[in-house]
Amino acid sequence: MSILFDLQKKENFTEAEKAAAQYILDHLEEIADLNIGEIADQSHTSNATIIRLCRRLGTKGYRDFRISILREIEKIPDEDYQGNVDYPVYDRTSLAIVMKSLAEVHKYAVSTCYTAVSAVDLQNAAFILERAEHIYIYATGESDLAGQVFARRMMRIGHRCMCISSTTESLAFTDQLTAKDAALFISYSGKGIIRFRDDMILMEQRKVRTVLLTGVTPNHPFSQIIRYPYIESDDDNSATFYSTEAENYLLDSIYSMIFAMEYEKVKKHKQEVDHLMRQRADLYIDKMQK
C-alpha cells in the first residue's frame, strides 16, 4: 500500500505516532522543507517517534520516508471524485449523465489505484504468476468475472489458468496443486477468501505461491498481497462500480507486465491463438449461412 494511505489509516500507531502522522498529513505541502526536528517539535513528539513511524511505514528512516512520500504526492490527481462510488446513477438519469458518471468512476478508480498501489507489489505478483506451471484463480461474485477475463487473456499468451468460484467443489481442484503452481485470490471486501480457508491451508502445506488482490488487510499469510484502498458508499455497501474498475485495472497491469517479460514469445503465441479463433469463427459463420 501507499505511505499516504497508511498515514491516513493510522493502523496500530501509538498515540505519539498518530500525532506525528496527523501533523505530516496537515502539512504535506511543506514536507519537502520540513526536517525531522521540526516535525517532532510541532507534533509534540520526539525524533525517535518520527524514526519509528517512518520504519513502521516501510521506509529506512526520515530521509527515505520524505523521498517516498514526495513521489506519491506527485501522483495525486488534481481533483477527487465527488460522486457515489456504489450508485453513480440515480432515478431517471439521462444517458449523457450516466456516461459521464461512469467515466468519472473509472477515472477515480484508476487514479486511486495508481496512487496507492506499489508497483513493486504488482511486479512481484507478475513474477509469481509468470513462473507458475498452472494458475488457479479463486473468486466469487463480481470478482469472479474479473478473474475470468484475466484467465482468458493469460491463456491466449500461453499460460494455463482455471477459475474456481464454487466453494463446495474448490478442494477437489486445489488438491491438484503443487509447489510449481500458483493461486490468485480476488476479494475486494475480504469476505470472499474466507470461503476458501481450507484451500488456503492446503496450499500453505504444499508450499504453493499465493497472490491476493484485495481492499482490506487479510488474516491469512500470502506470498504477495496487492492491497488497494477500500471505499464504502454512504449506505455502507461495498462500492461495486469502483471495485470492479479497480480490479480490472490492477489485473490488466499484471497481465501487461507478464506480456512484457517475454514480449516476442507471447506476442507470437497470442497471434497464433487469435488466428485459430478467427478461423473457427469463419467456419461457424460459413456453416450457419449454408
Dump pLDDT digits (tens) for 169-194. Answer: 899 999 999 999 999 999 998 888 88
Per-residue pLDDT at 222: 95
Q: How confident is the model at residue 25 (pLDDT cuts 50, 70, 90)?
A: confident
Instruction: Report the alpha-carbon distance of residue 39 to residue 45 in Å, rounded.
Output: 8
* Cβ contacts of 86 within 8 Å, gap of 6 or more: 232, 233, 234, 235, 237, 238, 239, 240, 241, 242
Instruction: Report the alpha-carbon distance of residue 88 to residue 57 in Å, rounded.
Output: 34
- Find the angle CA(27)-CA(74)-CA(127) to the nearest 5 degrees: 125
- Average pLDDT over the chain, rounded to an integer: 85
Mean pLDDT of 248-271: 86
pLDDT at 40 > cutoff 80 = yes
Domains of the chain: 3-75 (1.10.10.10), 119-267 (3.40.50.10490)
State percent of the chain over pLDDT 70.
Answer: 87
Q: What percent of the chain is helix, strand and coil (3-state, nearest 5)?
A: 60, 10, 30
pTM passes above 0.75: no
Residue type present at position 73: I
pLDDT tens for 126-168 read 999 999 999 999 998 889 999 999 999 998 888 999 999 887 8
Per-residue pLDDT at 94: 60
**Is 250 within 8 Å of 228 (Cβ atoms)?**
yes
Per-residue pLDDT at 189: 86
Give the range with max mean pLDDT: 250-254, 257-261, 283-287.
250-254
Per-residue pLDDT at 101: 76
**Is 116 within 8 Å of 1 (Cβ atoms)?**
yes
**Is 203 within 8 Å of 177 (Cβ atoms)?**
yes
Strand 224-227: give its sheet, edge to edge: 160-164, 134-139, 182-187, 209-214, 224-227
pLDDT tens for 63-100 read 999 988 888 777 665 445 555 655 666 656 566 667 77
